[in-house]
Structure 1
Amino acid sequence: MTKDHKNLKNIEPVRVSPEELNRRRETNKVWFSSIVSLLEKFISKIKKKDFFISFIDSDRVVLKTISPSGGEGVFTEGVVINEEFFGTTSIECSLTRNEEVEVIGSDHTLLQLKDWACASSPIHDSEGNIYGVISFTSKLNNYPDYGLGIISSLSQAIEKEVRWREISEYFKLSKKYLDIISKGTKDGIICLDEEAKILYMNEAAGEILHVDIKNSLGKFIVDIVDFNPVILSVFKTHEGYTDQEFIINSPLWGTLHFIKSAVVVRDEKGNFAGVVDFFRKIGRVRKFVTSYIGAQAKFNFSDIIGTSLKLKEAIRISKIASKSNSNVLILGETGTGKEMFAQAIHYEGLRKNGPFMVINCGAIPRELAESEFFGYEPGSFTGADKRGRPGKFELANRGTIFLDEIGEFPLGLQVKLLRVLQERSITRIGGTRAIAIDIRIIAASNRDLSKEIDNENFRKDLYHRLNVIQINLPPLKDRTEDIPILVNYFVEKLSVKLQKNIKKVDDSFIKPLTTYHFPGNVRELENIIERALNICENNELNISHLPREIIKNNPSLKSIDEIKRESLIQVLQDTKWNILKTAKILGISRPTVYHHINKWHIQKKS
């Protein structure tokens, strides 16, 4: 065989046409451009000039040969490296064995190659198939000891570069779909390859991170931000996470507060291939949560019913408060509408687009109060959520927090509340980092806070912090002129709820209410109206539908039985003692009509 090959020195090797060579280069465009780019970079950093690097496809056609000297070498472009002509070569062996191979001098069978040394390494596509070979060739006297190492490193670099370019091309083709999907959410989305290079970034991510999207693609995530990206932990553990909270300090942008999820991407073999990073600003999360739990104001000033001077004065001061960010203290008895006023101040105020968070200070157990108000970090105490939890003050950020029954706020936490008001930041239980908050506080109490201060149940300095704008709500007994208006309002409102058709509210129903002292104020009045509507069996409310305690407290009024007797006599006279019509008008049965006639000794006048 050696003899035969020696006799081939005057025979030309097989060569493809220039058109076929160009076609193959175009077919292998991604590979070809990646390899040429990498080889040119490699050659520019090597001082030696007398070597050649070639890219040979799987059909053994030399697609490209590059040399610092500009020569062609023994494996010229377009030549087919077949065994029939070239005999034993590292290229043939590498393709056949699917491994790195080095052939030195006399190991070649072709005479012209015995003064040459060659190292070749296969390159594979994403499915592991041999795509071609990279070959390093030089004269024996110039061949380096590390020739095989050079070509091995180059082949690995080429495979990674081609994979990167293929993924990039895929994302370019899919970009319109990705943009449509990502525009449907305001979450930031970044796709990273296995080296933490950015493959894709949506507009929301660019806005949140304050970076230019076009300039970020292809770069390492660490190179586009001025802080250490927390997503890098996933590249060490290869484990993702869901809805974890992170607070990051950016030298340029200050504190960045995120909720993040990381999804690990794996190839068909299960190997780590990258990460998709989802993140949103904590403000959006808070807004969603507060909306979900109903932390929104529903009432405005037009919902406050009444024309009394004391009520009008309270509304006047409240409207002034709505145009300010100062703290407000609302004082009034139970049921006077303190929360309604607080909602109206928020709803028509500067923070109307923010959350309205309500905390009933007397309803939260003292041992849970601090965690409810200020939140806690993961593992802060037994039974704590392992992910931690924000407190009500955090959730109210950029909005209003309504502290109802502030007089019952735990004395031990009043110092911490005072610090929140002074520093405008909170620190969660178990945490060390101060979280900035922007809130407006409206507090309310049915207690005399000055007495609470004297009894050392309430801090004087906290009282002064809260009592910037004070609003005093009058009890219902001090604005009796509003009672008829409120009665008609509640009858109309509750009739819809209870599916009643009330056409008349008799004076006998309203008059006792104007002399009642109403310890429960407007809330009690509403409950009285609802009870009356429930027990009313016709379309008119009268004294018979009022609770006994209201009648009992008004001795000038007739008893219920007296009123019922007079009503029965009147209807019997109107119907000319037609028992069936009388029963229908009064909404009772015929036997009941006869029962009352006998009980109250009603006689038909002749």
Structure 2
Amino acid sequence: MIRVGEPLSDVLVDTLDTIFDPIAVPIIIVDTDTTVVMINQIFADFLGQPKEEIIGKKVLEVDHNSRFPYVFKSKRPEIAWKHKFSNGKTAIVHRIPVLDENGEIAYGFGLVLFEDVKEFKDIIEKNKLLESALTYANKQLKEISGAKYTWNNILGSSDKMVQAIYVGRRAALTKSNVLLLGESGTGKELFAHAIHQASNRSYERFVKVNCAAIPAELLESELFGYEEGAFTGAKRGGKIGKFELANGGTIFLDEIGDMPLSMQAKLLRVLQEKEIERVGGTKIIPIDVRVIAATNKDLKQMVDEGTYREDLFYRLNVMSIEIPPLREREGDLEPLVYKLLEKLSEQLGKYVNRIENEALKAMQDYSWPGNVRELENVLERAINLTDSETILPIHLPYYITEVKQEQTLSKQGRTLKDFVEKTEKEVLQYYIQKTGGNKKQTAKLLDISRSSLYEKLERYGLE
């Protein structure tokens, strides 16, 4: 049994060498600290380095671009990963962290699947021809549908979020129109995707239209299509509209509150009669489309003000779902932060899995007017700024941390000097940690003399 912290024995290494060296596939095995313990001759030749010089080196010394350290931290394999080696060669590789019975890293196994990306692409093309018609058709239908998210992508355990998800799941099982209400950035589009994916239309198209992004004069032709010669600049043969494109599936009308009054009347007719007529056309086209609409505006108030049709509002408002803003989702922020850190770390290729308590508290005290979208942007910024696996208060925008700082100052009656000293101490702690206690390097990074650094470290008890 291989255990964490126990190096691979010489006998085992020799056995692995005997097994893998004759194999014509580049293979490498690294220890728990990413030291290379076995590499076969074909891999050494691929890297252009003598095999005996590679053994015993850290993998980053052999290939500066290696992602094994990241794979060990995430404990997740990377399969068929396109990788550019430091010698300039590009290949398709596997990196697999092998875990012991306690879930800790025992060793890492890697191999080069294809030494040439073109070879990999050729295999994929040939494989597509061998796929069964049913499997391939189902795959294509899912891709065409356009919906990417499911209920698994929506996180939340607060009362309001649980209620929204419950209503959404129930709505997905019906044929009724759905109206998603909520501030910008709350996740209305995610709900629309999830409702479509959970419905009996999931293999049909999911067509998205942003009503606010299309000029009023073009919206009708965009939704209903047009015939050839309908207007100057019309394409030869005409154009199919979004409703026709979504026939049998779902159309998601985002920012429905920005739709002009003239278009509201035409949309109402489509919802009532379940038929459309292209611009410049005379033919009535029957359609079967499920409508999911979304808005961050108060449609009821707009009805009262006369800027939104009451009959359209009630036609859309069959199954309404109110998605709460982040500030009203008590207890949801912390799990959201860690879920987004996991997602963004994978996207950015930079492993960050912790957030310091004071930074988290500052985020919890912030009102998040941009909701989850703003939270994701702030975390992406923080990941780009940190040099460690932890997000600190200094990695957050000042407009977030100042809220917490101002509250603390006012409650404790602290002076500006207190505030400045606290910030200075935090910065010193961060750079001492970053340099591993190297005072010369810390002083250089902070652009202060070493004597000044020693004085500050003594003052704040950081020696």
* Cα distance between partner residues in 2 of 1:577 and 1:350: 60
Asked if residue 471 in structure 1 is aligned to residue 325 in structure 2, the reply is no
Cα deviation 1:212-247 (Å, max 9, x = unaligned): xxxxxxxxxxxxxxxxxxxxxxxxxxxxxxxxxxxx
Evaluate the alpha carbon distance shift between residue 368 and residue 562 of structure 1 in structure 2; reply closer, same or farther with a 3 A threshold.
same
Cα deviation 1:361-393 (Å, max 9, x = unaligned): 111001111110110000110000011001111
- Are the counterparts in 2 of residues 373 and 391 from structure 1 also a CA contact under 8 Å? yes
- Aligned ranges 1:354-369 → 2 under 5 Å: 354-369=204-219
| Number of aligned positions between the proteins | 317
Evaluate the alpha carbon distance shift between residue 506 and residue 330 of structure 1 in structure 2; reply closer, same or farther with a 3 A threshold.
same
* Cα distance between partner residues in 2 of 1:576 and 1:328: 56
* Cα distance between partner residues in 1 of 2:319 and 2:437: 65
Q: 1:556 aligns with which of 378, 392, 407?
A: 407
* Cα distance between partner residues in 1 of 2:214 and 2:439: 58
* Cα distance between partner residues in 1 of 2:200 and 2:445: 64
- Are the counterparts in 2 of residues 512 and 551 from structure 1 also a CA contact under 8 Å? yes
Letter in 1 for 2:425: R
- Aligned ranges 1:404-483 → 2 under 5 Å: 404-483=254-333
Q: 1:568 aligns with which of 402, 410, 428?
A: 428
- Aligned ranges 1:336-375 → 2 under 5 Å: 336-375=186-225
Evaluate the alpha carbon distance shift between residue 596 and residue 496 of structure 1 in structure 2; reply closer, same or farther with a 3 A threshold.
farther
Q: 1:311 aligns with which of 161, 165, 185?
A: 161
The residue matched to 2:226 in structure 1 has which SS?
Answer: coil
Post-superposition offset of 1:599: 7.9
The residue matched to 2:204 in structure 1 has which SS?
Answer: coil
Evaluate the alpha carbon distance shift between residue 601 and residue 410 of structure 1 in structure 2; reply closer, same or farther with a 3 A threshold.
farther
- Aligned ranges 1:21-170 → 2 under 5 Å: none
- Are the counterparts in 2 of residues 569 and 602 from structure 1 also a CA contact under 8 Å? no
Post-superposition offset of 1:540: 1.3
- Are the counterparts in 2 of residues 565 and 600 from structure 1 also a CA contact under 8 Å? no
Post-superposition offset of 1:592: 2.5
* Cα distance between partner residues in 2 of 1:568 and 1:458: 57
Cα deviation 1:71-130 (Å, max 9, x = unaligned): xxxxxxxxxxxxxxxxxxxxxxxxxxxxxxxxxxxxxxxxxxxxxxxxxxxxxxxxxxxx
* Cα distance between partner residues in 2 of 1:289 and 1:368: 29
Q: 1:533 aligns with which of 377, 380, 383?
A: 383
Cα deviation 1:488-541 (Å, max 9, x = unaligned): 011111011111122421111110111111111111111110111111122211
Letter in 1 for 2:446: T
Evaluate the alpha carbon distance shift between residue 414 and residue 519 of structure 1 in structure 2; reply closer, same or farther with a 3 A threshold.
same
Q: Which runs of 5+ in 1 are unaligned?
A: 1-180, 187-283, 584-588
Post-superposition offset of 1:595: 5.3
Cα deviation 1:292-311 (Å, max 9, x = unaligned): 6xx51111111101110110
Q: Which residue number in structure 2 is paired with residue 590 of structure 1?
A: 444
Evaluate the alpha carbon distance shift between residue 569 and residue 548 of structure 1 in structure 2; reply closer, same or farther with a 3 A threshold.
closer
Evaluate the alpha carbon distance shift between residue 318 and residue 595 of structure 1 in structure 2; reply closer, same or farther with a 3 A threshold.
farther
The structure number with the bigger radius of gyration is: 1
- Are the counterparts in 2 of residues 330 and 445 from structure 1 also a CA contact under 8 Å? yes
- Aligned ranges 1:222-371 → 2 under 5 Å: 296-371=146-221
* Cα distance between partner residues in 2 of 1:433 and 1:514: 57
* Cα distance between partner residues in 1 of 2:407 and 2:269: 57
Identical residues among aligned pairs (%) = 43
Asked if residue 545 in structure 1 is aligned to residue 405 in structure 2, the reply is no
Q: Which residue number in structure 2 is paired with residue 386 of structure 1?
A: 236
- Are the counterparts in 2 of residues 290 and 357 from structure 1 also a CA contact under 8 Å? no
The residue matched to 2:270 in structure 1 has which SS?
Answer: helix
Letter in 2 for 1:413: M
Q: 1:494 aligns with which of 331, 334, 344?
A: 344
Post-superposition offset of 1:419: 0.7
- Are the counterparts in 1 of residues 338 and 353 from structure 2 also a CA contact under 8 Å? no
Post-superposition offset of 1:566: 3.6
The residue matched to 1:598 in structure 2 has which SS?
Answer: helix
Q: Which has the higher contact order (CA 8 A, sep 6+)?
A: 2
- Are the counterparts in 1 of residues 149 and 194 from structure 2 also a CA contact under 8 Å? yes
The residue matched to 1:501 in structure 2 has which SS?
Answer: coil
Cα deviation 1:24-59 (Å, max 9, x = unaligned): xxxxxxxxxxxxxxxxxxxxxxxxxxxxxxxxxxxx
TM-score, structure 2 as length reference: 0.63
- Are the counterparts in 2 of residues 543 and 560 from structure 1 also a CA contact under 8 Å? no
TM-score, structure 1 as length reference: 0.49
* Cα distance between partner residues in 1 of 2:152 and 2:314: 30
Post-superposition offset of 1:290: 10
The residue matched to 1:334 in structure 2 has which SS?
Answer: coil
Post-superposition offset of 1:590: 3.2
Post-superposition offset of 1:561: 7.0
Post-superposition offset of 1:185: 10
Post-superposition offset of 1:476: 0.4
Q: Which residue number in structure 2 is paired with residue 208 of structure 1?
A: none
Letter in 2 for 1:476: L
* Cα distance between partner residues in 2 of 1:576 and 1:415: 67
Structure 1, 481-490 or 548-557: larger mean CA deviation: 548-557
- Are the counterparts in 1 of residues 173 and 199 from structure 2 also a CA contact under 8 Å? yes
